[in-house]
Structure 1
């Protein structure tokens, strides 16, 4: 199928999935109001597309539903890429807001030493700021500084809502720390800026991006680490080889395995519950390594040629060809558009 044909087939698959589910497949907590079956486009080796179907293990009836949808789509001659995932979660480190995560309240240890831009040091204190380092709202554990952007000609740091805001109670002007509190950052010594804007997330709504920006105290930043300055964007077409640098797993490589995924259900903990996202990008790690782990949220995902494709925000710990999990990414143009931002030139 070409792109347009695949989109039509995808719409049919979504309708089939929701009809067959009939409202009967839900999470145990009843937070998911639609069938937990994500549907998108899967790239084929010849440049065409099939239908990507993703189902989560552990929910009663969902495996059977996924196979029913695959069979119906396959009967009309469409290629189906059916995969299972684990529970997909937002990838902040050790929970979202300090004191709410699974590790209990964050107790800052000794202040980490300053490291240079040439050292890895994703969890350490880094000046000048660069992509890939630990960062977070003062009441959040830790995530990743993904890139630097300009808003109204002023330099800001880009990451996720659940990294730089973390909760509906967050407000512009709240302190942002580098490193994040889970990595020993504390106010005011490790303050690097303030929350400037966040795209709201709310239970019961369908989202496209998990994104926020911080106004930096010091605009003298290193935007070239680790691959040079990234200033251009593109829409993922599927099959691209990509990379990212994150607070937890540093530089990793992967491949885009699905695009335009709808009904991706992501767990956000007690405050927001399970949220649904549309038009997402899926990536699996190449080789034996995972593409991302908790704390990598906010990483910028870019092609081998240095063109930005998306902002990493969620993942599962199982799934993918290497069994190390699947990663989910917001399209970068949707992120920048929602924040009225451009990549720092």
Structure 2
């Protein structure tokens, strides 16, 4: 199938999934909290596309629906168990990232000038990753996730942002590098496209380079990409895209925000025995190996995928920048 044919198949199967879930609700007389099955496009070696089917490990209803979908679609269906998908870090009052500072391969210390890949967070959040520098109305900002730079509904513009993040020893005011300036709201019960926020920097003397060099261009993902990222926890890792335009990605945000649903996401798996990302890598910019940005890392699972090391999820970078009115700084 070409991309448009695969999209039409996805649309039709989404209706079939809704029917299966509705039958399940009626049969069990329960409420609407039946786990969704994620559907997207699966890149194929011949340049075409199949259907990506994702379901959470340990949820019988989702497994049953995924199996029926695979029977309906046939061999072009790529069915994978994802494990429980979640974001980290959470707020400082909640659990810390599962990978402690002493085990992190990335940069958890105080770093000046600021550069991509270092630990950063809102004053009341544990620690995440500074993904990129962007300009909004000509002013330089740091880009990361909502759950890294905002963290909770009580946060507001002007709140301190620290480097390193509090979980890595950052303290206000001595480690303040800027203030929360803008974000895309997240709210339970709604479908979302991005988990993104920006902090206006106090000092605009920054290092813009990544391990691959400057990253100033963006591209829409087609599913053939070999990618890399540099993050606070796992450092520099390589992977490849395994699904695009993935809808109904359900992500855990902790007790305060619960589980949120995301559409049109990108899925990545590592190329080797190491995971592509772990807790604290949230906010990393993911780029092609030729230095073109494709996504903002925001969530992942510690199980699932061909190598068992979990799957990573990205917001398409174009959607992130459009939502924030930003452009990559170069």
Same fold judged by TM-score > 0.5?
Answer: yes
Change (3 A) 1:121 1:257: closer
Change (3 A) 1:187 1:31: farther
Q: 2:94 aligns with which of 96, 100, 103?
A: 100
Equivalent position of 1:79 in the other structure: 76
Q: Secondary structure at the match of 2:217?
A: coil
Q: Which stretch shows the higher mean deviation, 241-250 or 224-233?
A: 224-233
Runs of 4+ in 1 over 4 A off after TM superposition: none
Equivalent position of 2:85 in the other structure: 88
Equivalent position of 2:295 in the other structure: 310
CA offset at residue 70 of structure 1? 1.2
Equivalent position of 1:115 in the other structure: none
Change (3 A) 1:294 1:31: farther
CA offset at residue 58 of structure 1? 1.6
Paired residues in the alignment total 322
User: What is the alpha-carbon distance in structure 2 between the residues aligned to residue 32 and residue 329 of structure 1?
Assistant: 27
| Contact map agreement 1:196 1:213 (CA 8 A) in 2 | yes
Q: Which stretch shows the higher mean deviation, 193-202 or 62-71?
A: 62-71
Structure-to-structure mapping, 1:209-248, within 5 angstroms = 209-248=194-233
Q: List runs of 5+ in structure 1 lacking aligned partners.
A: 104-108, 113-119
CA offset at residue 31 of structure 1? 10
TM-score (norm 1): 0.90
Q: Which stretch shows the higher mean deviation, 334-343 or 121-130?
A: 121-130
Change (3 A) 1:53 1:189: same
Change (3 A) 1:209 1:98: same
CA offset at residue 36 of structure 1? 2.2
User: What is the alpha-carbon distance in structure 2 between the residues aligned to residue 230 and residue 24 of structure 1?
Assistant: 47
Change (3 A) 1:278 1:32: farther
- State yes or no: 1:197 paired with 2:191: no
Q: Secondary structure at the match of 2:198?
A: strand
Q: 2:270 aligns with which of 285, 292, 304?
A: 285
User: What is the alpha-carbon distance in structure 1 between the residues aligned to residue 220 and residue 139 of structure 2?
Assistant: 25
Equivalent position of 1:269 in the other structure: 254
Change (3 A) 1:296 1:36: same
Equivalent position of 1:336 in the other structure: 321
User: What is the alpha-carbon distance in structure 2 between the residues aligned to residue 153 and residue 284 of structure 1?
Assistant: 35
| Contact map agreement 1:18 1:35 (CA 8 A) in 2 | no
Equivalent position of 1:106 in the other structure: none
User: What is the alpha-carbon distance in structure 1 between the residues aligned to residue 87 and residue 303 of structure 2?
Assistant: 15
Equivalent position of 1:132 in the other structure: 117
Q: Secondary structure at the match of 2:279?
A: coil
User: What is the alpha-carbon distance in structure 1 between the residues aligned to residue 120 and residue 54 of structure 2?
Assistant: 31
Equivalent position of 2:14 in the other structure: 14
| Contact map agreement 2:96 2:167 (CA 8 A) in 1 | no
Q: Secondary structure at the match of 2:12?
A: helix
| Contact map agreement 2:244 2:267 (CA 8 A) in 1 | yes
| Contact map agreement 2:212 2:290 (CA 8 A) in 1 | no
Equivalent position of 2:46 in the other structure: 46
Q: Secondary structure at the match of 1:125?
A: coil
Q: Secondary structure at the match of 1:82?
A: strand
Q: RMSD of aligned C-alpha atoms?
A: 1.9
Equivalent position of 1:116 in the other structure: none
User: What is the alpha-carbon distance in structure 1 between the residues aligned to residue 14 and residue 58 of structure 2?
Assistant: 21
Change (3 A) 1:205 1:124: same
CA offset at residue 202 of structure 1? 0.2
User: What is the alpha-carbon distance in structure 2 between the residues aligned to residue 4 and residue 65 of structure 1?
Assistant: 24
Equivalent position of 2:192 in the other structure: 207
- State yes or no: 1:59 paired with 2:59: yes
Change (3 A) 1:318 1:286: same
Q: List runs of 5+ in structure 2 lacking aligned partners.
A: none
